[in-house]
Structure 1
Amino acid sequence: MAPGSWIARIALIVFCILLLPSAVCATPIQPVHGPYPEQLPSDSTPLYIWNVPLNILILEFVCVSSPALFIPMQLLFSLSVWLRLGQKRVTYRNVLENENRNAVYMCIQENPGIHMHALSRVLGMNIGTARYHMEVLCGVGKVFPEQNSGGVSYFVNADPFSDLERKIAGYLHDHQKSRILRFVLQHPGCTRKDIAFRLIMSGPNVTCHMKSLIRDGIIRSERDGRNMRYYLCPDADGYLEDHEPWNSCAHPEAGKQAPYAAVKLRGSRDSG
């Protein structure tokens, strides 16, 4: 089928849709029984030209002077009305006017590096709704994602975090890795056996998490005979010391604190 025929069909459909409002503009007239009245009832309210809408005046002028342009002009005015009924464009300036989206933004600002499921749990928001608002915030540049071995972490674009700090913040929202980091911070020089015994984890599981933490420069390992001892890197040690107590969103009991987090977010919006 030629492309022109598709264009013609689409134009015809649009034209019919635009004419639908005119169907409800008809005025019902009651039939007159008996002889016709000698004169029409006069309207007690005078209608001046400045009381008539400009588009009506233009259409009347076009109808008298150039009837061929009447339909195109009517379509033009109707199109402007339909365009006003469209959705409001979301921009960087007005993106936070939506209450749920503002709550998502504030939660990320209060909990840098938070994961999607933790954010949904803290706000008590459906995961699909949270993901939609997150995509909008990322699209306008308010928030940016960062991929690591623990998943996707989200940060506010204005936060001055270094690469190492963003990695640590993301791992603090990972349940197992945050427990390992806390244990190594409290027990520098611990071995894999110590971590597995105290945190009730398997040895291979500890090794798997340690590979990611060592690769990202957060934890360093030292050989001590047959054992491998683990320490926090200096920069990571300083960051973790400065950010205690850690966010509890990474732990299963974080759901119990969700009402407090929601109240805190509402308070932040009210104060702003």
Structure 2
Amino acid sequence: MNRRETLIAIIMIFILAYIHQVSVESNVIVIPSEGTSDLIREDNVSVLDWWEVSPVHYFLTMIGLYLPFLIPITGIIVILSCFSFGIRTIHPKNVLENKRRQDIFQTIMDNPGISHNEIENVTGINRSSLKYHLRILMREGKISSRKFFKTRHYFGNGSRYNTEDQIFRLVLNCSTTENIYRYINRHPGCTQKDLIEYTKLSYSTVLWHIEKLSSGNLVSINKEKNSNHYYTKKTILQNSD
């Protein structure tokens, strides 16, 4: 039960109570305060009809008298409103009945490793709404995500490829990155100088691809004798053969 539902339920209680109060045409007796010296005089006591008393008076009185009963009554009203207005609980069996979540899920299944911005461009769903639906899909176990190389990527659960395999294929979707990875695989312990001589690329470009491989957990970096030496991960190698 969120704040909005609670507020609506409380307002409904007050409105119903006020309608009941005015419907019985009850009177309100008004007497002076205790500090008044002539309290016992009958002409100081007056009787007002219900319409002469402001709704604020009724509401404040009801808060003082019925506050202990408001919480359970509010819960009952919210439960009844869920049945009346068709509010449904989201669970794994009906999570994809929503058209937007269905489109998001299908987009992820068709494009394993797709990023948030790419999903937004493909589906046309705005950022805040997309973030909400992605959170629900992950909560219900339909998708998973992993952040590497400063970007979060999404994968569909239940695919024939596990997350590690999908990341492996995603990282190596660039021919240059794959070429560097295969060189490291064939020459374990090679240095950045070796990679620059092999690829004929600049220092910064080689470093960018190394960071990408490292972020995807495909390559480990060991510092030996003031130089970084690169090795492919054995667990990943088994998936790449």
Q: Secondary structure of the residue that 2:144 maps to in structure 1?
A: strand
Question: C-alpha displacement at 1:81, in angstroms?
Answer: 4.7
Identity of aligned residues (%): 21
Quick one: distance in 1 between partners of 2:164 and 2:10?
59
TM-score (norm 2): 0.50
Q: How many residues align?
A: 169
Quick one: distance in 2 between partners of 1:215 and 1:79?
47
Question: C-alpha displacement at 1:160, in angstroms?
Answer: 4.2
Question: C-alpha displacement at 1:159, in angstroms?
Answer: 2.1
**Residue 12 to residue 217, structure 1, CA distance change in 2 (3 Å):** closer
Higher strand share: 2
The aligned residue for residue 265 of structure 1 is none
Contact 2:149/2:211 (8 A) holds in 1: no
Quick one: distance in 1 between partners of 2:161 and 2:170?
12
Question: C-alpha displacement at 1:156, in angstroms?
Answer: 1.6
Contact 1:192/1:229 (8 A) holds in 2: no
| Counterpart residue type for residue 121 of structure 2 | R
Unaligned runs of 5+ in 2: 1-6, 21-72, 188-193, 222-227
The aligned residue for residue 256 of structure 1 is none
Match runs of 1:82-231 below 5 Å? 82-83=81-82, 84-85=84-85, 87-162=87-162, 164-171=164-171, 178-184=174-180, 191-192=195-196, 195=199, 197=201, 202-214=202-214, 218=218
**What whole-Å deviation, never above 9, does each CA across 1:120-145 have from its counterpart, x for those lacking one?**
22233323332221111011111111
Q: Structure with the greater relative contact order (CA < 8 A, sep ≥ 6): 1 or 2?
A: 1
TM-score (norm 1): 0.46
**What whole-Å deviation, never above 9, does each CA across 1:196-218 have from its counterpart, x for those lacking one?**
64xxxx52242143145157553
Unaligned runs of 5+ in 1: 1-8, 23-73, 222-227, 242-272
| Counterpart residue type for residue 139 of structure 1 | R
**Residue 80 to residue 193, structure 1, CA distance change in 2 (3 Å):** same
**What whole-Å deviation, never above 9, does each CA across 1:44-94 have from its counterpart, x for those lacking one?**
xxxxxxxxxxxxxxxxxxxxxxxxxxxxxx999976653322632211101
Once superposed, what is the RMSD of the aligned Cα atoms? 4.6
